[in-house]
A and B are shown apart, each in its own frame.
Chain A
């Protein structure tokens, strides 16, 4: 196995290239998972920090697929943070985003989607993001989330049903 060198300028550059290429995709997943811009930014930065730490670790083995590693880290960090914060979360009575003029309907779509996703559990949202945004196979999503493939399928169906109820599909 190839090993990274601590403090190697090349590793820093590799990280910047990876982060620049993946930040947008990570943010989209994070936004769908969190439903809030600030929380999504926080989640992406925390994820990138972990990736940075992993890539620049002195005795760490090189990551075979850094992009996949980053996306996996994002979902796991989200679920981990949710578990820690679950007892302190409070539902929002009013949505903080204010919809302005939106001729193309983009804001309306996002708000409706966010509300629909907010009805789902954290794990269901993670299933939705992995399966339908990141297009990962059932088995891969199951392995990543520590669920059986059947459970992933059930959660996927539940999410679809919820979207239909809200007339999003």
Chain B
């Protein structure tokens, strides 16, 4: 009446079982193939989701990054510009720099630069070049000379003559 007796008892009972080995093996293999198919489908689905997520990140992240950037400080000289318009201009300048990866406003005003910056401005603003190659923006019904300080963190606006 000890552990060996229990081992013998279990062994004796278990070895008298009628076992259909072929059915067990066939059933196990069939279920295994099903499991593998489901795993492959799940893996494929996960891969598609991953690609979609990377694609979405590529589209959304730049906007998020830009949204996280502080707009440049707007300094309005000798004139009145509503805060919303000033912020919009500052945001447009930041977007342009981030999108084109160059400091458009810090450089000379050219038609190519205007085209690129214009797309970043709102519908109420238009930009043009002054005779001396400076930037002029028309907003709130007025024309402003615009200058972005080096580094893009400060935007100066002055009523254009």
Interface SS, A side: helix
* Contact between chains at B6 and A159 (CB < 8 Å): yes
* Contact between chains at B17 and A47 (CB < 8 Å): no
Min CB–CB distance B147 → chain A (angstroms): 58
Central interface residue in B12, B28, B36, by most chain A CB within 10 Å: B28
Chain B residues whose C-beta falls within 8 Å of the C-beta of A56 in the assembled complex: 32, 36
**A20 adjacent to chain B (CB < 8 Å):** yes
Encoded as 1 (CB less than 8 Å from any A CB) or 0, chain B from 13 to 27 comes to 111110101011101
Central interface residue in A15, A49, A50, A106, by most chain B CB within 10 Å: A49
Q: Of A23, A41, A132, which is within 8 A of B3 by CB? A: A132
Q: Of B9, B25, B27, B33, which is within 8 A of A113 by CB? A: B9
* Contact between chains at A28 and B15 (CB < 8 Å): yes
| Chain A: CB-nearest residue to B6 | A132
* Contact between chains at A19 and B6 (CB < 8 Å): no
Min CB–CB distance A18 → chain B (angstroms): 9
**B160 adjacent to chain A (CB < 8 Å):** no
Chain B residues whose C-beta falls within 8 Å of the C-beta of A128 in the assembled complex: 6, 10
Chain A residues whose C-beta falls within 8 Å of the C-beta of B29 in the assembled complex: 15-16, 19, 48-49, 52
Chain B residues whose C-beta falls within 8 Å of the C-beta of A41 in the assembled complex: 23-24, 27
Min CB–CB distance B75 → chain A (angstroms): 60
Which of A61-69, A88-96, A140-148, A160-168 makes up part of the contact surface? A160-168
Chain A residues whose C-beta falls within 8 Å of the C-beta of B9 in the assembled complex: 109, 113, 163, 168-169
The 8 closest A-B pairs by CB, nearest first: A48-B28, A52-B32, A49-B31, A28-B14, A45-B27, A49-B32, A106-B16, A19-B25
Instruction: Please report the C-alpha to C-alpha distance between residue A110 and residue B19 in the assembled complex, in whole angstroms.
Output: 14
Q: List 8 A-B contacts (CB under 8 A).
A: A19-B24, A27-B19, A49-B30, A56-B32, A109-B12, A131-B3, A132-B3, A164-B1
Evaluate whether A28 and B32 lie within 8 angstroms (CB atoms) in the complex, with A23-B24, A168-B9 already known. Answer: no
* Contact between chains at B32 and A53 (CB < 8 Å): yes
* Contact between chains at A27 and B17 (CB < 8 Å): yes
Chain A residues whose C-beta falls within 8 Å of the C-beta of B27 in the assembled complex: 41, 45, 48
Instruction: Please report the C-alpha to C-alpha distance between residue A140 and residue B16 in the assembled complex, in whole angstroms.
Output: 27
* Contact between chains at A52 and B10 (CB < 8 Å): no
* Contact between chains at B28 and A53 (CB < 8 Å): no
Q: Which of A30-58 touch B at CB < 8 Å?
A: 31-32, 41, 44-53, 56-57
**A2 adjacent to chain B (CB < 8 Å):** no
Min CB–CB distance B32 → chain A (angstroms): 3
Chain B residues whose C-beta falls within 8 Å of the C-beta of A131 in the assembled complex: 3
Q: Which of B44-65 touch A at CB < 8 Å?
A: none
**A24 adjacent to chain B (CB < 8 Å):** yes
Chain B residues whose C-beta falls within 8 Å of the C-beta of A20 in the assembled complex: 21, 25
